[in-house]
């Protein structure tokens, strides 16, 4: 199966060099190029590529900024002239990164790794085609989160809680709680309601992460989540919750 890829880099020569290197990999089809972040965001939105090659330093917005604006993340391979140490400062757990000038063997390795991960995920879950079409994020889908200098790719099934903070949402996963610029309502629309439950006005909870359920005032419920957070479920939502959980 060929993968459709977009190359995003502000230097034409860098893009053409990468394209030339990719000629040795017929499984990758370069469907478009973008010379800056905004152009990249637009093309990703229109063409929904499987993979992007992304430069980090670009005029206007950086590659990281681009990722934070995407709703659905394709697979990402960073290309940069930064050294590895400089990259580590960002703490990005990216799929892979290639240092420019790109060594052909490193490119082959990165593409291999991509295939391997894909196979593993295909075995683990069966995504129903409808969810893909409706634009709803599956459990294995990733979101890109940037908090100041630090960045993460987070799988949805690692997230236990979203909390609304003004126009932002606080994302709880492992020991981190960064903010993303998305409203809770917008998130709710894109999340799978079988997994993510709107407990109240301020919280969306990952149902797989609930440790305990206790009755609460006024016919509400109190959910204890794996990280230790306690979330109140409003009365109206408690009815829905019980409905969902009962056989």
**Contact footprint for other proteins (CB under 8 A):** 11-14, 16-17, 20, 36, 38, 57, 59-60, 81-83, 99-102
CB atoms within 10 A of CB 120: 10
Residues 163 and 181: beta-carbon distance below 8 Å: no
The H-or-E segment that residue 223 falls in is strand 221-225
User: Could you tell me the smallest distance in angstroms from the CB atom of residue 100 to other proteins?
Assistant: 4
User: Could you tell me the smallest distance in angstroms from the CB atom of residue 4 to other proteins?
Assistant: 23
**Residue owning tokens 């610029």:** 181
CA distances from 219 to 69, 70, 215, 237, 241 (A): 39, 39, 7, 10, 12
User: Could you tell me the smallest distance in angstroms from the CB atom of residue 103 to other proteins?
Assistant: 11
CA 115 to mean position of chain CA atoms: 18
User: Could you tell me the smallest distance in angstroms from the CB atom of residue 23 to other proteins?
Assistant: 11
Residue placing its CB nearer to other proteins in the complex, 102 or 110: 102
Q: How far apart are CA 195 and CA 110, in angstroms?
A: 32
User: Could you tell me the smallest distance in angstroms from the CB atom of residue 36 to other proteins?
Assistant: 5
Structure tokens at 123: 């075995």
Residue placing its CB nearer to other proteins in the complex, 80 or 234: 80
């Amino acid at each position: 199966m060929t993968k459709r890829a977009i190359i995003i880099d502000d230097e034409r020569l860098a893009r053409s060099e990468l394209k030339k290197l990719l000629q040795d990999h017929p499984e990758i089809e370069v469907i478009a190029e973008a010379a800056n972040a905004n152009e990249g965001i637009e093309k990703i939105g229109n063409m929904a590529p499987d993979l992007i090659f992304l430069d980090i330093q670009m005029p206007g917005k950086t590659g990281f900024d681009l990722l934070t604006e995407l709703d659905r993340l394709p697979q990402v391979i960073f290309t940069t002239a930064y050294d590895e140490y400089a990259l580590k400062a960002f703490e990005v757990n990216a799929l892979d990164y290639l240092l420019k000038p790109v060594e052909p063997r490193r490119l082959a390795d990165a593409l291999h790794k991509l295939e391997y991960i894909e196979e593993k995920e295909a075995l683990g879950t069966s995504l129903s085609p409808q969810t893909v079409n409706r634009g709803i994020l599956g459990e294995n889908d990733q979101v890109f989160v940037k908090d100041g200098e630090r960045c993460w790719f987070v799988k949805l099934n690692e997230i236990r809680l979203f909390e609304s903070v003004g126009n932002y949402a606080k994302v709880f996963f492992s020991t981190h709680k960064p903010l993303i610029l998305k409203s809770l309502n917008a998130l709710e629309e894109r999340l799978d309601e079988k997994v993510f439950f709107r407990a109240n006005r301020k919280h969306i909870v990952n149902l797989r992460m609930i440790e305990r359920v206790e009755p609460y005032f006024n016919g509400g419920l109190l959910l204890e989540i794996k990280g230790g957070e306690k979330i109140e479920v409003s009365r109206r939502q408690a009815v829905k919750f019980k409905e969902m959980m009962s056989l």
